[in-house]
Amino acid sequence: MASDISKIIKSEIVSTLESLLSASCSVEDVELLDSGSYDSEACVKTNATFEFSGNSSEWSYFIPAPIATQFEYLMLGGVTDLKETIDDEIKDAVQEIVSTISGSVVTSTNAQGFDDISGMKFTLGESSITTCDDVDSASDMYKLKVLLNGDEFFIYISFDDGSKSFVKGFTGAVEDEPASTGGSSSTPATGGAVDAGVSVGGSMLNSLLGEESIDNLKLLFDIKMRLSVRLGTKVCLLRDVISWDIGEIIELSQMTSEPLEILVNGVVIGTGEAIIVDGKFGVKIKEIGKTKIG
């Protein structure tokens, strides 16, 4: 039987929206729609192609105007007026969120060690302003009821034939049974949600902290921390700094072959290598804490 990544997808939707929007979020219900019940309201449609184990599948995210406008409004910190209709800025905000969700799904899925979903990666397609019934007739469409800061919204996701067997449990609640590992890995299907992260090694945390302390620890999870990547450092004399001008080349102590330092609030927590993600700089973690990856 195919491995089920339904819970991972829902968990990553929740954690991504909470992280990028600084908002409380939950998936309350998921419904598989009949072909004749698709909504025709305006939305932003973003396609993503997922490749794994030699297979390829297409997912389409449909973000209706009511929640799409919230995305841009909250990403800007609520300092602008809430728009009533979708424009290019809202489309760009939706595309960034969908890209982050897809990337998180890939990372969490690969961490499970599934036999039938190995080496998963994705390619983000273009976003377009369309209607929520703009779906391929061969695809299954799911309607997600999402609570964002206590307000009810809907998100739609369609899966083509290549991925239908991997999302059979999608209509279950986020808190349902963990996704089947399907492989030899014993890593829990944590996804990326806050509560899921606490459950990793849950028995160990319980023995060390106790239930009450863990609940208190969760209160800190929404604290924002600044992540930075250090390209290199150099000790300079003041006389040198004063003499610098535009075009000056400054040689750093870091060798090009050495990993980059990853810092959280100025504290080094690991190392990684620079990568490009959708035209932006990113960092791939190679070492975190005392754990070396790869």
- Domain CATH number, residue 175: 3.40.1550.10
Q: Among 86, 92, 78, 83, which Cα is nearest to 22's?
A: 78
Alpha carbon distance 25, 152 (integer Å): 10
Rounded distance between C-alpha atoms, residue 214 and residue 235, angstroms? 42
Q: Which two tokens stand for residue 109?
A: 């899925």
- Does 75 share its domain with 201? no
Q: Check whether residue 161 and residue 129 sit in a common domain.
A: yes
φ, ψ at 243 (rounded to 5°)? -85, -5
**Is there a single domain that holds both residue 204 and residue 237?**
no
Residues 200 and 283 in one domain: no
Q: Judge whether 1 lies within some domain.
A: no
On whether residue 249 sits in a domain, the answer given is yes
Q: In this structure, are 121 and 44 located in the same domain? A: yes
Q: State which amino acid sits at residue 107.
A: T
Judge if 148 and 218 occupy the same domain.
no
134 and 180 share a domain? Answer: yes
Let me know whether 133 and 248 are in one domain. no
Domain boundary among 156, 185, 214: 185
Domain membership of residue 38 (yes or no) is yes
Same domain, 30 and 170: yes
What is the distance between the alpha carbons of residues 80 and 94, in angstroms, rounded to a whole number?
Answer: 17
Whether residue 43 is found in the same domain as residue 162? yes
Q: Is residue 55 part of a domain?
A: yes
**Residue position matching structure tokens 């700089």:** 281
Q: Could you tell me if 79 and 161 lie in one domain?
A: yes
Whether residues 159 and 202 fall in one domain: no
- Can you tell me the distance from the alpha carbon of 113 to that of 129, in angstroms, rounded to the nearest whole number? 37
Residue 261 lies in a domain: yes
Beta strands in the chain (DSSP E): 25-32, 42-52, 55-64, 121-131, 140-148, 151-159, 227-230, 260-264, 267-277, 280-288, 291-292
The boundaries of the domain holding residue 163 are 6-185
Tens of pLDDT along the chain (294 residues) come to 788 999 999 999 999 999 889 889 999 999 999 877 888 899 999 999 999 888 899 999 999 999 999 999 998 888 788 998 999 999 999 999 999 999 999 988 988 888 888 889 999 998 999 999 888 877 899 999 999 999 999 999 999 988 888 998 887 644 444 444 444 333 333 333 334 343 334 444 555 566 667 677 777 777 888 888 888 888 888 988 999 999 888 888 878 778 888 988 888 888 988 888 777 888 888 888 765 555
CA–CA separation, 10 and 191 (whole Å): 8
Count of the separate structural domains present in the chain: 3
